[in-house]
């Protein structure tokens, strides 16, 4: 998923609402005035293309990886295994399709060297010592992972969060995390408020979430079916009642199992079909230019 659910911010503005409701009107007015006098800026850091646990899973006191991993790094009973496209638990994670490292990196971990990882979160830095004799640090650049509106809903799978590996174009990499404790941002987070239960406002990537930060709305694309953007209208499965599901229609060439290849769809575009939200309109939900 792209867009991080970790948010480092001065949280006084958030605290203000709850405190004001609890206080008497006069006291609330005084508190509001005092906070406005002291709080001049609220800083939001968009750590794009990262999940909270990918970087801050080991943050002291956070509801992170320790929830599902024991001190030995193995899954606890709280861990829900990633599932294949047919709903069965994956015996292992899929390979990292296309390789773990981005092109041009001095340390290389190939797709073949990423096979057979246990169905569990793993430390990217040390996971490939045995298969590739490689250690990946914070300066290592891994391949990108997509973060798209419909795919994200398929990965979340109704709140079970067990479809990330199956519906990712990067396979196992979605389950990886770094030891980020030596980074400047990690130290900065210790000085302020790290919102480990903060979630993005919209499914998918930063494009739609930037829109939601400003207006809590998706941009409309009028008459997309007669515009040059028509080839970018997504093809989505429908439910028995005729309404749309959140599931993209698979391509005929799609592999049944996530272990055999990345997902393929008839069309995963940047626009919703008409009437996806029940109002007859098209909306831009993935990154596109004007």
User: Which residue, among 235, 237, 239, 221, has the nearest Cα to 290 in the 3D structure?
Assistant: 221
pLDDT for 24: 64
What residue segments make up the domains of the chain, in order of their start?
Answer: 206-284
Tokens of 127: 């996971």
**Cα end-to-end distance, the chain, whole Å:** 24
Tokens of 49: 């293309």
Is-contact 176 257, C-beta < 8 A? Answer: no
Place of tokens 């940047």: 270
pLDDT for 20: 44
Instruction: Report pLDDT digits (tens) over 126-180.
Output: 999 999 999 999 999 999 999 999 999 999 999 999 999 999 999 999 999 999 9
User: Which residue, among 152, 97, 144, 148, has the nearest Cα to 268 in the 3D structure?
Assistant: 148
241 CB neighbour count, 10 Å cutoff? 5
Place of tokens 């008459």: 223
pLDDT tens, residue order, the chain (290 aa): 343 443 334 343 444 444 445 556 777 888 889 988 998 888 776 667 788 899 999 999 999 999 999 988 899 999 999 999 999 999 999 999 999 999 999 999 999 999 999 999 999 999 999 999 999 999 999 999 999 999 999 999 999 999 999 999 999 999 999 999 999 989 988 998 888 888 888 999 989 998 998 899 999 999 999 999 999 999 999 999 999 999 999 999 999 999 999 999 999 999 999 999 999 999 999 999 87
Question: What is the value of pTM for the model shown?
Answer: 0.84
């Amino acid at each position: 998923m792209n867009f991080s659910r970790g948010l480092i911010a001065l949280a006084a503005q958030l605290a203000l609402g709850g405190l004001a409701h609890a206080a008497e009107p006069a006291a609330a007015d005084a508190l509001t005035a005092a906070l406005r006098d002291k709080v001049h800026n609220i800083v939001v850091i968009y750590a794009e293309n990262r999940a909270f646990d990918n970087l801050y899973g080991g943050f002291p006191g956070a509801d992170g990886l320790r929830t599902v991993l024991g001190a030995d790094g193995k899954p606890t009973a709280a861990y829900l295994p990633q599932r294949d496209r047919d709903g069965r638990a994956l015996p292992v994670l899929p390979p990292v399709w296309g390789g773990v490292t981005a092109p041009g990196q001095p340390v290389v971990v190939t797709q073949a060297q990423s096979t057979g990882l246990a169905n569990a979160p793993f430390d990217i830095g040390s996971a490939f010592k045995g298969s590739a004799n490689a250690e990946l640090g914070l300066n290592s650049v891994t391949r990108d992972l997509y973060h798209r509106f419909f795919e994200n809903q398929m990965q979340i799978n109704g709140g079970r969060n067990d479809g990330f590996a199956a519906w990712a174009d990067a396979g196992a990499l979605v389950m990886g995390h770094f030891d980020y404790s030596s980074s400047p941002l990690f130290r900065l987070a210790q000085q302020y408020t790290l919102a480990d239960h903060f979630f993005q406002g919209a499914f998918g990537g930063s494009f739609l979430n930037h829109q939601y930060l400003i207006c809590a709305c998706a941009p409309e694309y009028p008459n997309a079916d007669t515009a040059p953007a028509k080839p970018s209208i997504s093809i989505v499965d429908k439910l028995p009642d005729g309404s749309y599901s959140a599931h993209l229609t698979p391509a005929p060439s799609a592999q049944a199992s996530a272990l055999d290849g990345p997902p393929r769809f008839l069309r995963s575009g940047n626009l919703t079909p008409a009437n996806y939200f029940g109002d007859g309109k098209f909306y831009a939900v993935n990154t596109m230019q004007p």
